[in-house]
Amino acid sequence: MKASLNTSAVTNELTITIQGLNWDDIEQASFYEGEVQVRDLLKVIGQELTVHLLHSKAVDAPTVKWEGETYYRKETSLGHYQTLYGEVVLSRHLYQSSAGGATLCPLELHCQLSFGAATPLLAEVVSFKLASAPAGEVAQDLAKSHGLSLSATYLHHLAQQVGQIAVEKHEAWHLQAAAAPAPVALIATGVDGTTMPLVNEAYKEAMCGTVALYDQAGKRLHTEYLGTMPEAGKATFAQRFTTRVTWVKACYPNALHVCLGDGAPWNWDFFATHYPEAVWVLDFYHAATHLHTAAEAIFGKGTEAEAYYERWRTTLRDEEGGVARLLRSLLYYRNRAGLSASAQRALDTELNYFRQHAEWMQYADFRAAGLPIGSGVTEAGCKELVKARFCRSGMRWKRASGAPLLQLRAIKLSQHWDSFWSKVMRYAA
């Protein structure tokens, strides 16, 4: 099949003529086969329209000025470009300065072809897809949905180019999702680590941070995700996360800031350094896990331990001063005769845990104020941001190649993609 176009500026009409198409044969085939033919027909039309669009941006002047230097027209040559409708080929002029050196292609500059031979839309679609799936799967997806034949290696390199922009502009570009549908009353931030496989290093801890917005009724309105590849000291993560949180807090100056975390010491040291004024909440479900360990230290495994756990879990969560009451109960059993030395040591560990974190376990008060008491948003973020994309069977990552895809995935999950791509087209392409 071949498509040709005719346009009329007077009537604002575009006429597309398809040669080599027997529509009667298509109608006689099965509906599915007809759909495949329609897909291929749209691909041919898309190629022809894209060629015309590229030609509309071409330059034929004897000379052009670029960055203060004069470039002179050379003979036409063929340009091969990858589009969402397949490869297109067209002749265009290159330009070169009188001193020789690198050539300039005004058509490519005007069409923002900053990603090698790929058009901007193809670069966007590929990088958007690779944020969620490996290059091999994306190649299969594009072959089935668009009839494209692009190698996994090409797709990976294309997404790497886009992702590198996202990494470099992380702090300079303040990306935004759609406006929150209701006034933001609370900003809940959380940080956590999760392992991912690295080349020649086995599993190392990557970092994930979440910034969740809530309305006055406690309904979560939006969540954004930030992540970094494994690094010693987590300095990159700390800088990126604090920069972003500062910006979000400035957007909602009247919102209460809550920090949620599990018992990992790094989390609380991080909160103490950067957010001493925030309300700190220790994840209730981590606290409940420690309560269960304490119950088994007292009673051993069995129904008695489970009954104790269920009773005091409810008290800890629902009753004012619940953690103080729990501590008194644990002390009672700790001082009672009959516990083995190992059980005493286990119970001492849990007693210290509840003593050290009691201030951040005022769950009844937190719930009455409409605050979240679980860090499930951040834990789910670890799974969605890192595990689901970077921990598939057989995967191993290098920091340099993983960081661009991790950044693209965070942008996608945070619903910042349109904001990001508009900046790519405005500033980077």
- pLDDT tens for 283-293 read 999 999 999 99
pLDDT digits (tens, 9 = 90+) for 52-111: 999 999 999 999 999 999 999 999 999 999 999 999 999 999 999 999 999 999 999 999
Read off the pLDDT of residues 190-211 as tens digits, 9 standing for 90 and up: 999 999 999 999 899 999 999 9
Please choose, from the candidates 76, 140, 151, the residue with its C-alpha nearest in 3D space to the C-alpha of residue 106: 76
Long-range pairs, 76-83, Cβ under 8 A, ≥24: 79/105, 79/107, 79/108, 80/117, 81/54, 81/113, 81/117, 81/118, 81/119, 82/117, 82/118, 82/119, 82/122, 82/150, 83/46, 83/47, 83/50, 83/118, 83/119, 83/121, 83/122
The pLDDT of residue 202: 87
241-252 per-position pLDDT tens digit:
999 999 999 999
* Rounded average pLDDT over 124-133: 98
pLDDT at 411: 97
Say yes or no to pLDDT of 177 above 90.
Answer: no
Strands 279-282 and 186-198, by their bridges, are: unpaired
Q: Which residues neighbour 203 within 8 Å (Cβ) at sequence distance 6 or greater?
A: 195, 196, 197
pTM comes to 0.90
What pLDDT does residue 182 have?
81
Given a cut of 80, whether residue 180 has pLDDT beyond it is no
Sheet with 256-261: strands ordered across:
220-228, 202-214, 186-198, 256-261, 279-282
* Confidence band, pLDDT 50/70/90 cuts, at residue 263: confident
Indicate the pLDDT class of residue 8, thresholds 50, 70 and 90. confident
pLDDT of residue 195: 95
pLDDT of residue 56: 93
Locate the domains of the chain by residue range.
284-368
Q: Average model confidence (pLDDT) for the chain?
A: 94
Indicate whether 181 pLDDT > 80: no
